[in-house]
Amino acid sequence: MILLGIDPGTRFSGYAVFSQNNHALALLDYGFFALGAQSALPMRILNFHDNFDQLIKKFGIDTLAIETPFLGKNAQNFLKLGYLRGVLYLLAQKNNIKILEFSPREVKCAITGSGAADKEQVAIMICRLLPHVEKKIRSDVSDALAVGLCGAWKVAHEQRFTRL
């Protein structure tokens, strides 16, 4: 399995690519895409599509892990996130990719043991769980790593119990 964890954003989008084979998990790549904060929204959505389309093809992604959205203080941000999620659904459908979705609380609980953890606590645990990851990473990257780990652990758990 090659899994892509994504933290979508209209300015910066974090990603993490994991490989899982016989319960061995390897981090293949991680980082973020800057989508052009000064560009018009349609251009940023196109950049988002093109960047993730290339990543999917480069690694042969077969599973995608994303967080379910939550309505915060800004409805416009929620709406824009919906555009990006639509792009991810389209890419997944076109490339026969399985989508795993997790609530922010589920991801925080899986990584830190507490669904109420803040972003800094998640980043600290990511660095402990993945010691070769840079200590000072962007929050969108640590979020993508966290979502990706959550997805990889879920798949490993399901595979273990389907073999019984």
| 141-153 tens-digit pLDDT | 999 999 999 999 9
Distance separating alpha carbons of residues 117 and 115, to the nearest angstrom: 6
Domain ranges of the chain: 2-162
Residue of 101, 106, 140, 143 marked catalytic: 140
Instruction: Let me know if 67 is a catalytic residue.
Output: yes
Q: How far apart are CA 108 and CA 119, in angstroms?
A: 9
Q: What is the structure's pLDDT at 159?
A: 73
Q: Where are the alpha helices (DSSP H) in the chain?
A: 41-59, 75-94, 104-112, 119-129, 139-162
Fold entry, domain 2-162: Nucleotidyltransferase; domain 5 (3.30.420)
pLDDT in tens, 103-133: 999 999 999 999 999 989 999 999 999 999 9
Rounded to the nearest 10 degrees, what angle do helices 104-112 and 139-162 cross at? 80
Catalytic residue, chosen from 7, 50, 120, 143, is 7
Task: DSSP for 11-31, please give it.
Answer: SEEEEEEEEEETTEEEEEEEE
Annotated catalytic residue: which of 29, 53, 62, 67? 67
